[in-house]
Amino acid sequence: MPISTASACAAPIVPEIILEFTQADRLEATAEGAMRRFPEMAGRLLDEIARAQLVPLADLPPDVVGLGRETTYRDEVTGRENTVVLVMPREADIAQGRASVFTPIGVALIGLRVGASFTWETRYGEDRQLTVVRVE
Res 9 pLDDT > 70? no
- Round to whole Å and give the CA distance between 46 and 58: 23
Domain around 131? 18-135
For residue 3, the model assigns a pLDDT of 45
Residue 7 in domain = no
pLDDT tens by residue, 39-53:
999 999 999 999 999
pTM, entire model: 0.85
Say if residues 101 and 108 touch (Cβ distance below 8 Å): no
Supply the pLDDT for residue 120. Answer: 77
CATH of the domain at 103: 3.10.50.30
Between the alpha carbon of residue 88 and those of residues 58, 85, 95, 118, the distances in Å are 21, 10, 15, 22
Assigned domain for 4 exists: no
- Is 12 inside a domain boundary? no
In this predicted structure, the answer to whether residue 6 has a pLDDT above a threshold of 50 is: no
Residue 65 lies in a domain: yes
The yes-or-no verdict on residue 12 having pLDDT over 70 is no
- The total number of structural domains in the chain stands at 1
Residue 87: inside a domain: yes
